[in-house]
Amino acid sequence: MMKRENKIATYLGILFFLLLPVSLLSQNKTTSKLGLIKYKGGGDWYANPTSLSNLAKFCNQQLNLNLSPNISEVEPGSAELFNFPFVHITGHGNIIFTDQEAKNLRAYLLAGGFLHISDNYGIDPYIRKAMKKVFPELDFIELPFSHPIYHQKFDFPDGLPKIHEHNQKPPQGFGLICQGKLICFYDYECDLGDGWEDQSVHKDSEATRLKALKMGANLVQYAFTK
């Protein structure tokens, strides 16, 4: 009985942390981390090694947060997942969630966590199948440009910025919405995560990198205050 009560208390503590508004996070200087999902299937989950660290630093400057620049890798089936208010998936290839991982990721998102998926060109068919295992009842829908995620600290009246060109298609922002809340944001034909990387990696202009970081800050702010 005592072990069960301790487990309940632990999960309540996690839920309380996940739901803390950004104002409290900044006021109390709570140190938080962004998590990088280490998934199975052979896809390169590690594709953008500098991106989340740069995003964390930018958010600290622009949103008065206290995010650690040291990014932690976390497996989707791990209990550690619940320590992160914001987790990120990227890559170019296959993604597989086991039944246990899908169940754990679902519980995390329903408890108040937030998932950002950045298509690094080629992830689309795999991530759609993987997320269907997590939420069989939900489909990705394209978010209108009026959605609040485009109008946080920074205003993007035309939706996602275009960071890298692949198929000459416009960037699209898709979401999974559960009980009226956006719990997962998926940028497609955008390469948002690439835009957060060190400038030396892709040789993007500072203007392009700044657009990517501003949109990333909007994602983080939305995740912390939704």
Quote the pLDDT of residue 30: 62
The C-alpha angle with vertex 225 and arms to 157 and 14, in degrees rounded to 5, equals 145
Quote the pLDDT of residue 121: 85
> Residue 26 pLDDT more than 50?
no
Q: Give tens-digit pLDDT for 205-219.
A: 999 999 999 999 999
DSSP 31-86: -B-EEEE--BSS--TTS-TTHHHHHHHHHHHHH---B-SSPEEE-TTSGGGGG-SE
Quote the pLDDT of residue 201: 79
Pairwise pLDDT comparison (41 vs 20), residue with the higher score: 41
Quote the pLDDT of residue 36: 98
Mean pLDDT score of the chain: 88
Hey, is 18 helix, strand or coil? helix
Report the Cα 33 to chain-centroid distance in Å.
12
Q: If pLDDT is split at 50, 70 and 90, which confidence band does 1 have?
A: very low
Quote the pLDDT of residue 15: 47
Percent of the chain with pLDDT over 70: 87
Helix (H) or strand (E) holding 21: none
> Residue 16 pLDDT more than 60?
no
> Which of the 8 DSSP states describes residue 154?
S
Q: Give tens-digit pLDDT for 138-158.
A: 999 999 999 999 999 999 999
> Residue 20 pLDDT more than 60?
no
Percent helix, percent strand, percent coil in the chain, to nearest 5: 45, 20, 40
Strand order in the sheet with 86-91: 72-74, 34-37, 86-91, 114-119, 181-188, 172-178, 141-142
Pairwise pLDDT comparison (122 vs 166), residue with the higher score: 122
- 13: tokens are 């503590």
Residue 86 to residue 212: CA distance in whole angstroms: 17
Considering 6-15, 40-49, 162-171, the range whose residues carry the highest mean pLDDT is 40-49
Q: Which of 20-34, 69-83, 148-162, 193-207 has the lowest mean pLDDT?
A: 20-34
Domains within the chain, CATH numbers bracketed: 2-225 (3.40.50.12140)
